[in-house]
Each structure stands twice: as structure tokens, then as C-alpha cells.
Amino acid sequence: MAVNYTGHPFMESLIENKPMLISLIVAVLGIVILPFGPFTDALQLVHLDYDLRIMFFKVLAFDFIASFLIDRVLVFIFGRVKQKSL
């Protein structure tokens, strides 16, 4: 979601949009922290096997990096969208 959140003129930049930035930070922290330790016990979540946890994080990292690279390649090929004046 953050990769294709590209800023002006369509949207605020991520730094200017504090609620979006905070929600992304909370989401990433939740994804990283929840599979481990006391949170799984407190929330009665199923304990993931170590290998499955590592695979989960690899898939998440690959998805983020691939999305970013695809976005950059498409911007390089097609250029930035410019707003037409009315």
C-alpha cells in the first residue's frame, strides 16, 4: 500500500499524512511482533513453526520489494503522470 502511495497532485505525501504514516507503522509492527512470544499466548494465537515464520517474513519482504521495483520500472518506462490544466 505504501509503495504506490505516490504523493502530489493526487494525494498528500506520506510524511504529510500523519494518520496514514502511523497506521503503516502500527501495521508493520503488528506483523513483525505478533508471531513471537507473549503476544501469541495472550491473544491465544497458534504458534507458528520457526521455518514457517521465516518463510512468512521472506514472502512479505519479497512482496514489498517486488512492488517497489515494479512501480519504479513502470515510472521509468511511462514517466510520471502530469495533471492537465482545465
pLDDT of residue 84 exceeding 60, the answer is yes
Please indicate, yes or no, if residue 65 is contained in any of the structural domains. yes
**Residue 12: inside a domain, yes or no?**
no
In a domain, 68, yes or no: yes
Range of the structural domain that residue 28 is part of: 18-78
Which residue did the predictor score with more confidence, 63 or 14? 63
C-alpha 8: how far from its chain's center? 19
Model pLDDT, residue 66 = 93
Would 11 be classed as within a structural domain?
no
Say if CB 5 and CB 14 are below 8 A apart. yes
Tens of pLDDT, residues 37-63? 677 888 888 888 889 988 988 998 899
Alpha helices in 1-86 (DSSP H): 18-33, 37-42, 50-78
Q: Is residue 64 part of a domain?
A: yes
What integer is the mean pLDDT of 2-25? 72
Residue 9 lies in a domain: no
Average the pLDDT over 17-45 and give the result: 83
Residue 4 lies in a domain: no
Counted domains in the chain:
1
Query: Quick check: is 48 in a domain?
Result: yes
Q: Residue 76 above 80 pLDDT?
A: yes
